[in-house]
Structure 1
Amino acid sequence: MTNTPPSERTRARRMHEKAAYDRATIDAILDAMPVAHVGYVKDGAPVVIPTLQWRIGDQIYWHGSSASRTQRTARDAQVCVTVTLTDAMVLARSGLEHSVNFRAVMVFGAARAVTDPAEKAEVLRVMMEQMFPGRWDQLRPMTAQELKATAILSLPLSEASAKIGTGMPTDPPEDLATPVWAGLLPITLSMGAPIPDPNLHPDTQLPDHAKNYRFGAVSRP
């Protein structure tokens, strides 16, 4: 893990006191939220797609169909990957003082296609094991055709930054006597009870990695 100074693209221009550039903070946010949005330019217009990301060391990865126009267009192109956690709605005493407590990461760079079949298989294995430890060895092995039909892109974390908003509303002193409720509405992510596939074999037991799954629950390298 290496810490790098912010680039012109990652340096926070506004509210710079909320910015963080150390890898420990960046990694923790990426590891806690698998849902990401990938932005790039196609035919002169911006495109942003939701996907799942996972981190292995100094790289993040996301995958899709090899036939996907998105995967083909983003390959070797400049992209921006954004990951966000919302922690609370911040209610203030005036409309424009309302805010959100959040943790977010933006990663910039040229997306690299993972084309070697062995590397693709290993990257997918790590993704599965990070999310659901022990599941990979329980699954039917991937076929060569399935691997060929899957496109994987990666991005180094050499140009990444975090921004974090915390705390109570920042009402000006003259508003503090206003008789309006102010404070935080905390937001939490929770998992519901697992719902079994109706086609499950009757002897199939619920595995621990499904029973105990939580976003960001597994430490990553």
Structure 2
Amino acid sequence: MLSNTPRTQIKKAVHKAQFELKVLYQIIDESLIAHIAIKNEQGPVVIPMLAWRVDDHVYIHGANNSRLLRSLKNGAQTCLTFTLFDGWILARSAFHHSAHYRSAVVFGSFSIVEDNRDKDRLLNHFVEHIAPGRTQDVRLSNEKELTATMLLRIPLTEASVKVSNGIVNDDKEDLDLPVWAGYMPYRTVVGPLKPVEEMSGVIPTPDYSSAYGERWNKN
């Protein structure tokens, strides 16, 4: 179950709250983009970053001189958000238009991963997540590259999740209006792969479809 703290307590649209860890994991694993909040001398800033999960931690990485990473590496409190948009609810009235979405908010602080062997393993986990089997083919990171990379992690010990998947909720007096109402699905499609020009026809196209399920473009 997800944690229950003052920061994770959902007060608006409580019926959309989810409490299963697996729902949190699914949102992070599919999103792979975290919007991360920091506060600097100019005020609050929210920056989108590639992010991935290994077990019960989320990881981000970047250059050692990254403003965001330097702000977070010493344990400053922060907030991460992940959002997946799944479609529009089209009602008979403008007021009742809404959306299907899945969202997660993670609170806490990051710590730094120092050991290059750990960095290598965790960064390769990310590569495998987006392209299964790829670390068997590519040149892996060398010591210089690993040393130039900062890797941070945050535990998933304080998080909240909301899922909106309701139906059209028109007012009773609007039900007879001659207006189409329903659901407009929205989905992200992955693939097909597009090789660089010099690669065309030289090396067989790999198959990474297993990472994406129904989102993989089979055409």
TM over 0.5: yes
Tell which deviates more after alignment, 98-107 or 171-180. 171-180
| 1:86-165 correspondence runs (5 A) | 86-165=85-164
Hey, what does 1:21 align to over in structure 2?
Answer: 19
Please list the CA deviations of residues 169-192 of structure 1 after superposition, one character each: whole Å capped at 9, or x if unmatched: 211212212222221110011124
Hey, what does 1:30 align to over in structure 2?
Answer: 28
Hey, what does 2:46 align to over in structure 1?
Answer: 48
Distance 2:156 2:214 in 1: 18
Distance 1:192 1:125 in 2: 21
Distance 1:113 1:44 in 2: 25
Please list the CA deviations of residues 44-89 of structure 1 after superposition, one character each: whole Å capped at 9, or x if unmatched: 6221111221111110111111111111112211111111111111
Tell which deviates more after alignment, 55-64 or 34-43. 34-43
Tell which deviates more after alignment, 154-163 or 124-133. 124-133
Hey, what does 1:85 align to over in structure 2?
Answer: 84
State the Cα distance separating 1:203 from its structure 2 match. 2.8
Distance 1:216 1:20, change over 3 A: farther
Distance 1:94 1:4 in 2: 36
SS of the equivalent of 2:197 reads coil
User: Number of residue pairs matched?
Assistant: 214
- Structure 1: which amino acid aligns with 2:11? R
Distance 1:192 1:204 in 2: 17
TM-score under structure 1 length normalisation = 0.89
Runs of 4+ in 1 over 3 A off after TM superposition: none
Distance 2:213 2:156 in 1: 21
State the Cα distance separating 1:214 from its structure 2 match. 2.3
State the Cα distance separating 1:193 from its structure 2 match. 2.3
State the Cα distance separating 1:216 from its structure 2 match. 9.2
CA RMSD of aligned residues (A): 1.9
Distance 2:176 2:201 in 1: 63
| Pair 1:10-2:8 in alignment | yes
Distance 1:216 1:190 in 2: 9
2:81–2:105 CA contact under 8 A, matched in 1: yes
Distance 1:153 1:109 in 2: 12
2:132–2:211 CA contact under 8 A, matched in 1: no
